[in-house]
Structure 1
Amino acid sequence: MDVMGGVEDQDGGRRVAVVTGAGSGIGRAVAVALDGAGWSVVLAGRRETALAETAGAMGRGGAPGPGAGSAAGAGVLSVPTDVSRPEDVDALFAAVGERYGRLDLLFNNAGTFGPGGIKVEDLPYSAWRKVVDTNLTGTFLCAQAAFRLMKAQDPQGGRIINNGSISAHAPRPDSVAYTATKHGMTGLTKSLSLDGRPYRIACGQIDIGNAATDMTERMRQGVPQADGELAVEPVMDVTDVARTVLHMAELPLEANVQFATVLATAMPFVGRG
C-alpha cells in the first residue's frame, strides 16, 4: 500500500470503491474520506443534484450527467441509482466494470428510516415494503452484484461494508420496519462473510449511533424514549464515522472488522430502556 501516493491495488492503480446513498450524510462523508485517501469513488444515489454536491465536496467539481455511467468531474463516476430496483443496480455495477474493470470496496449505505411515530398496528403495508426494499433488499442486490465482479476479477477478491445501525441491537419506539431490516442486515453480513471466504471477499458491518446528519437532526429537538419521555440526545461528528469506515476499508483482505459500533458516547444505548 502506497500511503503517501494513495491506496493502490496489486496492479499499481487506484483502488475502486462504490458508495451507495452517496448524496448526503454518512455516504457523502465516507465518499469524501475515501477520495482523500486516494481511492477512485463511484457515487450512487437517487438524486443527481445531491450526487453533484458530493462530487463538489470531494473537490472534483462538475455535475453528473443523465443516466448510468456519467462522470462527475475528473476521476469520479456518478450513477443515479435506486437500490431497490434490480435494473438500476445492474446498471450501476455494469458502469463500474466498464469504467474501471474491477471493484475493491462496496459501502452499502443507502437506507431509509421510514415514517416515524406510527404504531405497529397502524403501519401501512406500503411503508413497510419501502423500508424493506431499500434497506435490506437493496443491500442484498448491491452485494450480489459486487460479489459477481469481485469473484470474476483478477486479482480476485474485495470488501463489502454494510451500514447497520445500533437498531440492529436495540430498537427505538415505533420503528418496527427499520429495526427489522437492521437485524436482517446482521444476518446478511454474516452470510456474505462466510460465502465470500473462498474468493477473498471480506464482509463487515458498521453499526452507527447518532452521527450528525440531516436524518438525525431531530435528536437535537428531543426524541421518544422507551419510557415514553422525550429526550434530547447527543450526536457525534459524521467524519468520525467516515474515519472508521476508512480504517475497515484499508485493512488487507486477510483481516476483517466483522462488526464495529461507533456512537455518540453519551447517547442512550448501553442501558437503553
Structure 2
Amino acid sequence: MSESSQPNNNDKIALVTGAGSGIGRAVALGLLNDGFTVVLAGRRIEPLNELVQMAETAGQRALAVATDVRDPQSVEALFSTIKAHYGRLDVAFNNAGVNAPAVPMDELPLEKWLNCIDTNVTGVFLCARAAFGLMRHQIPQGGRIINNGSISAHTPRPFTSPYTASKHAVMGLTKSIALDGRAFNIVCSQIDIGNAYTELSARMTKGVLQADGRTAAEPMVDVKHIADAVCHIASLPLSTNILNMTIMASNMPFVGRG
C-alpha cells in the first residue's frame, strides 16, 4: 500500500476498482484532475503505485490498495483502509470486471462462468454493500455509487452468456441500490460503455464476431470520453442522478445489432 499526502477535510474521496489499467485508470486520472482524492483498488499493486507517483508529481492525492473484489475479506480490508484514512467516501466507481471465452455455451468451463460472475456480480455487490454502509453512517450522510455496466446489459454478442448475464445482473443491482439508497441520500448510476479503446479491446479493430456470423472490424471510442462521462456523473449534486448512461462509438453495431 502506498499513499501520497493527506487530504484536506473539504476534499471529496472517490474509489475506483480495477484502477490499474483501461477504463479504471482513465477514470482515476480524470477524478484526480477534478480534485478528488482517489483510492485506487486493483489486484496488481505496481500499476496502482505508478498512478500514486503520478498524482504526487501533479500535486494530487491518491491511495493504492491491493484488492481482489471477489474476496469478501479483501473488500472489507479495502473499506477499513478508506475509513481509517479518510473517514468517509463520496463516490465509488465499481469498474473491476472480466470476460469469459467466446465459445458455445456447452464448451464453456464452469470455472470461467464462476470467475465472471464472482468478479462482475459478487464483486460489484461486495463493494457496493461496503460503500453503502460507509455512506449511510458517515456525516454528512450520503454518497454516489457508479457501476460499470455494458452494452451487454441490454443486448448480447454471440457466445457471451456469462458476461451478458453478469451485466444484466448489474443493472438490477443498480436499480435496487438507487431505490434503497433514497432514505440515506445515496444515489446509484450505471454507465453502459460500448467499444472503449483500451489495450484489451484493441483486438476489436481487427474483427469481431457479429450476430449474423460475419467477422467485422468495429469502430472504437477514445477512453478519455468514457472518463469524462464518469467524472460528469461524479460531479453532480446528490439531488440529481443519471440512472443510466449509454456511451459508445457512434457507428458500432448496437442499435440494430443482429
Residue 110, structure 1, aligned to residue 96, structure 2: yes
User: What is the Cα deviation at residue 217 of structure 1?
Assistant: 1.0
Where does 1:147-162 land on structure 2 (aligned, <5 Å)? 147-162=132-147
Residue type of the alignment partner of 1:178: Y
User: What is the Cα deviation at residue 218 of structure 1?
Assistant: 1.1
Residue 60, structure 1, aligned to residue 56, structure 2: yes
Q: After superposition, what is the alpha-carbon deviation per residue over 1:231-266, rounded to whole angstroms, capped at 9, x for unaligned? A: 000001000000000110110000000000000011
Where does 1:1-20 land on structure 2 (aligned, <5 Å)? 13-20=10-17
Residue 238, structure 1, aligned to residue 223, structure 2: yes
Distance 2:211 2:50 in 1: 37
Distance 1:267 1:142 in 2: 31
> What is aligned with 1:94?
80
Q: After superposition, what is the alpha-carbon deviation per residue over 1:65-108, rounded to whole angstroms, capped at 9, x for unaligned? A: xxxxxxxx972110000000000000000000000000000000
Distance 1:173 1:74 in 2: 43
User: What is the Cα deviation at residue 215 of structure 1?
Assistant: 1.9
Q: Is the 8 A contact 2:35 2:60 kept in 1?
A: no
Distance 1:199 1:75 in 2: 28
Q: After superposition, what is the alpha-carbon deviation per residue over 1:35-93, rounded to whole angstroms, capped at 9, x for unaligned? A: 0000000000000112123334x4436xxxxxxxxxxx972110000000000000000
Q: Is the 8 A contact 1:24 1:54 kept in 2?
A: no
Distance 1:59 1:100 in 2: 17
Residue type of the alignment partner of 1:149: L
Task: Name the SS for the 1:272 alignment partner.
Answer: coil
Distance 1:202 1:159 in 2: 5
> What is aligned with 1:211?
196
Structure 2 gap segments, 5+ residues each? 1-7
Q: Is the 8 A contact 1:16 1:42 kept in 2?
A: yes
Distance 1:170 1:37 in 2: 33
Alignment counterpart, residue 173 of structure 1, candidates 148, 151, 158: 158
User: What is the Cα deviation at residue 163 of structure 1?
Assistant: 0.2
1:94 and 1:12, CA in 2 relative to 1: closer, same or farther beyond 3 A?
closer
Q: Is the 8 A contact 1:22 1:28 kept in 2?
A: yes
The number of residue pairs the alignment matches comes to: 251
Distance 1:234 1:97 in 2: 41
Residue 202, structure 1, aligned to residue 187, structure 2: yes
Distance 2:61 2:219 in 1: 36
Q: What TM-score do you get using the length of structure 1 for normalisation?
A: 0.89
Alignment counterpart, residue 32 of structure 1, candidates 29, 34, 39: 29
Task: Name the SS for the 1:41 alignment partner.
Answer: strand
Q: Percent identity?
A: 55
Q: Is the 8 A contact 2:37 2:60 kept in 1?
A: no
Q: After superposition, what is the alpha-carbon deviation per residue over 1:180-234, rounded to whole angstroms, capped at 9, x for unaligned? A: 0000000000000000000000001000000001121111110100011100000
User: What is the Cα deviation at residue 12 of structure 1?
Assistant: 5.6
Q: What TM-score do you get using the length of structure 2 for normalisation?
A: 0.94
